[in-house]
Structure 1
Amino acid sequence: MNKPLGVLVGIVVVAGVLNTAGAWYTGGKIESVLQTSIQQANQELASQLKGTATQGSIELVSVERHLYSSTAHYRLNIQDQASGPDAPPVELLFVDNIEHGPLPWSRIKTFKWLPVMAVSNYSLEKNTFTEKWFAATKDQAPLKGQVTLGYDRSVDGHMELMAFEASMDDKSSISFSGLTMEAQTDAEAKNIKAKGYMDHLKIHAASLDKPPALIELNGLTLASDLNKSTYGFYLGQNVLVLSEGQLTFGVRQSVLGVKNFEYTGSASANGSLLSGRLTYNVGDITLDGKPVGSAQMVMTASSLDIPAMQSLLQTYQSKFQPQVDGTLPQTPLTAEEQARMQVDVEKLLAARPQLALEKLTLKTANGESQFNAAMSLAQPASFELAPIEVTKQMVTALDAKLQLSKPMIADLSAVQAQLVGQTDPQAIAKMASANSEMAGVMAVQTGLAKVDGNNILATLKYAAGEVDLNGQKMSLEDFINAMTTRFGGVAAQ
């Protein structure tokens, strides 16, 4: 044997011995790793589902250990209390072929030679609940994926929902292109990055007493970049983008279409204070193929006290959130709970939170309307003061502005006429013009706005006990009296 070949054989033999030793070591640890991961997953499920009507848990049913691989079986139970207390839980079964590290064969053959603890190849198994799903995918596992577990407990995962077409009954059907998800997390899932894509989903539903409805979604992209906060929930950014969607509904089978829909949500924390931003964009809205317009909304919040919000949410969930049957809980607040709520509200206001609707825009073919508002809050000296004094101290600033386009009102009136079946173009145009003019007249008559050309304008500012309504300044007491008198209420005392 020549020297280079001998060296190569020696390297291969040593690598094989090390891989066998590593696989034995990993195989010996795999069950304890799985139990730890499942325990963490159940804690996270309980945390994320808290306050909802849904409960879920994962169970490790069995593990069969071999030298280079192991086979694990899991059971996922989901209980939806909204279906009633006697409804059986949904049971999903999974089988997992786990390749032991440090060099699983699935990574070697794809030239990924960085040592890892294990590679998990999981898939959904057929049972009573999933047998129709399996039938729709022609007996292929409708859900499957692969997870790579690093020695630092980092996770790199891929999940796939298989495409299928199925008839739910003789009048309803579903067509699904499939969905793929990629995700990466570090140890204990403190940082998560994920992205997913679905090409199309079409759901056609009909019943004897309702007109058929058709929902179509095309080109759906999901993405998240999240970090777990010290308070147990995730901060960061979520994005959802939909290329195109359609809803066919009603007796006339009207078709509402949207294109280039985008949602972005972000949240961050500075110490115990939370800030967030939500943005919605719709690039194009149509009705029965005719253009309607586009829309945008941006909402923000800052300086929200996290512990106070969590405590108030817990009280709401236990005392005020509607039950499964829609009724409110009958147990009244105890004196201790009332005192805690007041402390939480005071803490929330002491942080001087700021809330804003930064932008609400609707644009049609002939006009564009905008609205924005911002409000700053503070803790009053005492809630025992007169309501007007509490309001003065609690609302430190308010600034709102409205620009309502009369041509836009006319455009939307024409859309409304189209929805109710009006087809005469002259009648539609006449009604749309009348509605836009009536809006201007009503705004002026109520004193809430003024008309400037084709726009209805209104501004409202408040600070230090003084209100400025469309340039007219008055005290907060006078403003409340004017509004209640104008709209038939009782004047403030």
Structure 2
Amino acid sequence: MRKTAGILAAVALVAIAYVTTTWYVGKQAHVTIEQAVAQANERMAQAMVAQPGAGRAKLAVAEYRRRVFSSDVVYSLQLQDESGQRQEFLLSDHLQHGPFPLDAIRTGRLIPMLALSQARLLPSAATQAWFDSLDGDTPVTGRTEVRFGGKAVSEWTFKPLNVAQGGEVLKFSGGTMRASFDNDFSDSRVSGEFDLLDYSMGAEAERIAIDGVRFEYEASGGEGTRMHSTTRAARLDLEVPDDDTVSLRDAVMDVSSEQSGDLASGAIRYDFGQVQLGNRNLGEMSMGARGRDLSMPALSELAQVYDELSARHGPREEEWQLSPDEAALLQEKFLALLASNPVLIFDPLVWKNDQGESSAGLTVELTRPAGSAQAASIDALLQQAVRGLELNLRIEKAMFVRAMAQLQGAADDPEITALAGSLYDEYANRLQAAGLVAFAEQAATAKIVYRDGRIDANGRQMPVAEFMQRALLALLM
């Protein structure tokens, strides 16, 4: 009897300890979720601040019901586009508290966890058509193991979509996504893929189709925030009525950013293994842009002012009628951005075809103008803001002639080819005579450097006024 009582007491103690532990873990999960939501909003704000007018996103916990062994959470993601239209996406999350969630044990996962999350998308105005196409079934499900020490692993599944509404047609193959988090959730790695995204506005309207998409994203926090992402597509087609289809093969988009203190740098690059216009192979193409020493607080304030003006005057900048106070405020925020001496670099645009390649690159160094810059005109302000500039250009004749003939749809027409060759020779000779380009080995090259109010054109020094005069004469003769 005493032995039985001792066993029951031990079982009771274990049960009490487990319930107490589970309750505590559930409480910690709640705190962790709030921290993760705040961190997600911060990351989204940083990603969007460099895109004035691109819209905003906000994640929030719409509902949280915590119990001893589990909790139910509803998340709300609100998106706002350039025109101010809002869309809401709802996600339901069933959390089983650790340290050993029941469903994890059932699947043989005996790893201590803070919580096991099983999430699904809920119907909303933005997603109802997706639910309808699946007869009410949820199109998105996710399973996440939230571990101790700020770690988690997550897997998501997206079901196919085929919707036609008001002439618009959207087809999606469905896809998968995987994510892992570490270092108190400040470090993350995400990868995923889908086979097809096809959207058209009607049978006789524009259509875009993307095949074979794979993406990878990596971010780290700490003293300096870093982010890098790569997206690949086997094919991207853009169809426009009464025009040739533009087809990009083996397309790659590479994006990276880094922030230390208030200053940030970033880069974006596109590479296309093949560019086709109709049935014409235009060759390979790559392009990119970089920026460094960008003040994030100043950029954030400029973006905020821009958004306020856009909301007040509409999304089309060319139609804005700014008051003197509005124009002064916008200029003030722009000048504050220039105070950190940012540098913009347009990586060489490289175009290769079966006859050769050409390239063009530009570096612009900016600074805040001294003196009464706020009273200057826009043209004068821009001149004062540029403290340095370098242009590098190389255009091969055979490549140029081939590209021009292809763009005219007459790659094999000898008359078009001869005309393109004559056009190249005429302008190359004019610019060479003006000292603005050098011509050798059937290629025109130029290196134009501006600094301290003077121009260095291929090693020849001259004032800006003289350079402009030479350029105008060469182009207008």
Instruction: Name which of structure 1's ranges 53-62 and 216-225 shifts more when overlaid on structure 2.
Output: 53-62
Of 426, 440, 462 in structure 2, the residue corresponding to residue 474 of structure 1 is: 462
1:371 match: 360
Q: Offset at 1:281?
A: 1.1
Mapped contact 2:82–2:315 kept (Cα < 8 A): no
Q: 1:442 aligns with which of 424, 427, 431?
A: 427
Partner SS, residue 242 of structure 2: coil
The match for 1:215 among 208, 216, 227 is 208
In the aligned structure 1, how far is the partner of 2:334 from the partner of 2:128? Answer: 52
CA pair 73-312 structure 1, distance change in 2 beyond 3 A: closer
2:170 match: 174
> Take 1:230 and 1:323, find their aligned partners in 2: how far apart are those partners?
39
Give how far 1:119 is off. 1.1
SS at structure 2 position matched to 1:431: helix
Partner SS, residue 333 of structure 1: helix
Structure 2 equivalent of residue 70 of structure 1: 71
Q: 362, 376, 382: which is aligned to 2:351?
A: 362
2:25 maps to what in 1? 26
Range with greater deviation from structure 2 (387-396 or 296-305): 387-396
Q: Is the 8 A contact 2:343 2:365 kept in 1?
A: yes
Q: Is the 8 A contact 1:126 1:134 kept in 2?
A: yes
1:257 aligns with 2:247: yes
- The offset of 1:41, in angstroms, is 5.0
Per-residue CA distance 1:27-74 (angstroms, 9 max, x = gap): 455556555655665666666666544454534335262x53333344
| Residues 354 and 374 in structure 1, CA contact (< 8 A), matched pair in contact too | yes
Separation in structure 1 between the aligned mates of residue 78 and residue 172 of structure 2, nearest angstrom: 25
Where do 1:182-193 residues align within 5 Å? 182-186=178-182, 189-193=185-189
Residue 408 (structure 1) aligned with residue 418 (structure 2): no
> Could you list the per-position Cα deviations for residues 158-202 of structure 1 after superposition, in whole angstroms to 9, with x for gaps in the alignment?
222212333335x65333221222223347743232222112222
Contact 2:405 2:420 in 1 (8 A): no
Question: Could you tell me which amino acid in structure 1 is paired with residue 122 of structure 2?
Answer: E
2:60 equivalent to 1:58:
yes
Aligned twin of 2:5: none
- For structure 2, the 5+ residue unaligned runs are 1-9
Q: Which has the higher contact order (CA 8 A, sep 6+)?
A: 2
Name structure 1 gaps, 5 residues minimum: 1-10, 489-493
CA contact (8 A) 1:383 1:390 kept: no
Q: 1:318 to 1:205 in 2, by over 3 A?
A: closer
Q: 1:321 to 1:140 in 2, by over 3 A?
A: closer
Residues 480, 58 of structure 1: alpha-carbon distance in 2 compared, 3 angstrom cutoff: same
Matched residue, 2:268 = 278
The count of corresponding residues between Structure 1 and Structure 2 is 458
When residues 395 and 164 of structure 1 are mapped into structure 2, their CA distance, relative to the original with a 3 A threshold, is closer
How far 1:212 sits from its partner (Å)?
3.9
Measure the CA separation in 2 of the matches of 1:372 and 1:203: 34
Say yes or no: does 1:162 pair with 2:159: yes
Q: TM-score, structure 1 length as denominator?
A: 0.77
Deviations 1:339-360 (A, max 9, x none): 95476256223xxx43323321
Cα distance, 1:413 vs. partner?
A: 2.5
Residues 368 and 12 of structure 1: CA distance in aligned 2, closer, same or farther (over 3 Å) = farther
- Structure 1 position 133 matched with structure 2 position 125: no
**Mapping 1:99-114, distance limit 5 Å:** 99-114=96-111
- The structure 2 residue matched to 1:235, chosen from 223, 226, 235, is 226
User: 2: CA distance between counterparts of 1:456 and 1:46?
Assistant: 44
Q: 1: CA distance between counterparts of 2:282 and 2:164?
A: 33
State the match for 2:7 in structure 1. Answer: none
Is contact 2:150-2:185 (8 Å) kept?
no
Give the 3 Å change call, closer, same or farther, for CA 309–41 of structure 1 in structure 2.
closer
Post-superposition shift, 1:133? 0.8
TM-score (norm 2): 0.79
1:410/1:124 Cα in 2 relative to 1: closer, same or farther (>3 Å)? same
- How large is the RMSD of aligned CA atoms in angstroms? 4.0
Q: What's the CA shift for 1:142?
A: 0.7
Q: How far has the Cα of 1:282 moved from its partner?
A: 0.9
Partner of 1:196: 192
* Deviates most, 41-50 or 93-102: 41-50
Alpha carbons of structure 1 residues 251 and 70: separation in structure 2 relative to 1, 3 Å: same
Q: Is the CA contact 1:81–1:324 (under 8 Å) kept in the aligned structure 2?
A: no
Moved more, 340-349 or 459-468: 340-349
Paired with 2:202 and 2:327, the residues of 1 have a C-alpha distance of 51
8 Å CA contact 1:19–1:101 kept in 2: the answer is no
Distance 1:262 1:255 in 2: 19
1:122 paired residue among 109, 119, 124: 119
Pairwise CA distance, 1:157:
2.3
